[in-house]
Amino acid sequence: MTAVVFIGPTISQEQAREICAAECLAPVRQGDIHRAVTRHRPRAIGIVDGIFQHVPSVWHKEILWAMAQGVHVFGAASMGALRAAELQPFGMRGVGRIFEAYRTGVFEPDRGEAFEDDDEVAVIHGPMETGYVPLSEAMVNIRCTLAKAEAAGIIGGAIRDALTGIAKGMFYQERSYERLLDHTEVEELDRREISRLRDWLPDGQVNQKRDDARAMLAAMRALLDEDPAPMRVDYDFAHTTLWENAIASAASELPAEPAADSEAAVLDELRLDHAAYLAARQAAHRRLVSLLEYDRQSIDLGRDEPERTIARLRRTEGLPTRSDLERWLADNDLDHAGFVRLMRDEARLQKLETEAGTNLDCYILDHLRSSGAYSTFAAHAREKQQTLAGLGAADPPGDGLAGLRALVWYFEGRLGIEVPADLDAYARGVGFEGKSPLLRAVWREFLFQGKTKGGCHGEPD
């Protein structure tokens, strides 16, 4: 294999392969660089997109390790630009305007504002099955588009600055040109300029992230066409105990991003049980902190401890035979590798360093498994999915009346509390990304209970 690139919402695999013949992999996460080097043996790696949430981000040290193995590593546009700006002194090759902005702290189209936030390139996107279709707009693209609009005389400098400030104040998952121009603060701006901008946007938008990704792929192709020698570095890579443990425990068995339908459904079931979710989240916090502390101390509990942990699990869960254990694995959505990882975590409490703000979904799921609760939520999720599969009404209706009745049923009838005044804050407090996913989950539970309990709360409107 000559080249590997990590891409997602920034550029499609088809577009990438038109520029550089490379193996296209999903957005990079911690452990993926090590896996790519050991499995594909590439001469060059390109990083464009990466995971910012759910699982730990790609580790600087694994990039340094890859270059020490002779692999040329490029970065651009998104996560790649961030890591390249940080690791350029060690030999990582950054490409494009976004990389230069992170490297210098200044983005050329702007008026002196410091350029350093991760959310400049972050977007929310669909799953792999959709081609990681972007569902929001990157702040850096908005900056470039507004600068182009000013240069074209569509808007003036004051409007550009105002819109840039409004967009920067929006949560990254909510950013889009439509939401920006419909923002309440925009009503105070010159309507003629806003109208011209709205008409100009469909053909005038700048996708700087995609442009930078294209430039990186072209740079990789140019390097590979030269038949380069292996990368040479001027640092000595330290094979620390932490690094060796990381490779052994996480590089090949990192908890998967909780995007699989079965695991995502379990989390939604858990979130609908307010008390259970809070308890699981608290336990997940304790689990994460403990794993990090054991990593810091590089504690080795010995070769026999994982086997003893498995034996304890089989006694506790009543799994005397192999078929009993296989059934338990199926109930908990675990394959052999996942089971070994879970038992290793249980036995050694060891985990790679996790960046601040890491989403706890992976640890919540493991808590459910180790506490014996996973199969209950999983069974309910499967039954609900099967029951509602042909109903065709997964989303709350537009009139709002039936949706309101579902909220009252859920909060007052099930939880025994009033419907929260701030549903968005409540939703985020129990792990949903906002009000809309909560409303959808409640509506699906409302429909499901109505069908399985014989319409005990009435047929939905």
What's the half-sphere exposure (Cβ side, CA atoms, 13 Å) at 80?
32
For tokens 């030999």, what's the residue? 91
- pLDDT value at residue 361: 79
Within 8-68, where are the H helices? Answer: 13-19, 32-40, 60-68
Cβ burial, residue 111 (10 Å; 0-12/13-18/19+): exposed
Residue 356: predicted pLDDT: 32
Instruction: Give per-residue pLDDT as tens, 262-289.
Output: 788 888 888 889 889 888 888 787 677 6
* Distance separating alpha carbons of residues 118 and 373, to the nearest angstrom: 36
Confirm if 423 and 429 have CB atoms less than 8 A apart: no
User: 24: alpha, beta or left, given left = phi > 0 and alpha = psi -120 to 50?
Assistant: beta
Q: Report mean pLDDT in 10-residue bins for the chain, 461 residues.
A: 89 93 90 84 93 78 90 95 94 95 85 81 85 91 94 92 91 90 82 91 94 96 91 80 60 46 83 88 74 56 70 81 86 76 67 41 84 91 86 66 84 86 83 86 88 56 40
Q: How far is CA 264 from the centre of its chain?
A: 13
Tokens representing 45 are 């790696």
Q: What is the pTM of this model?
A: 0.55
For residues 327 and 333, give the distance between their C-alpha atoms in angstroms, rounded to a whole number: 10
Distance CA 179, CA 170 (A): 10
> How far is residue 132's CA from residue 126's CA, in Å, rounded to a whole number?
5
Count of alpha carbons within 13 angstroms of residue 284, beta-carbon side: 20
Helix (H) or strand (E) holding 279: helix 274-297
Q: Judging by DSSP bridges, how do beta strands 93-95 and 72-76 pair with one another? A: parallel
| pLDDT recorded at residue 256 | 44
3-class secondary structure, 121: coil
Structure tokens at 360: 């706890």
pLDDT at 279: 86
Alpha-carbon span 67 to 75, nearest angstrom: 13
Residue 257 has what pLDDT? 44
Distance CA 80, CA 82 (A): 5
Q: What digits encode the pLDDT tens for the residues 78-106?
A: 999 999 999 999 999 999 999 999 999 98
**Which residues fall within 8 angstroms of residue 8, CB to CB, at 6 or more apart?**
26, 27, 48, 49, 125, 132
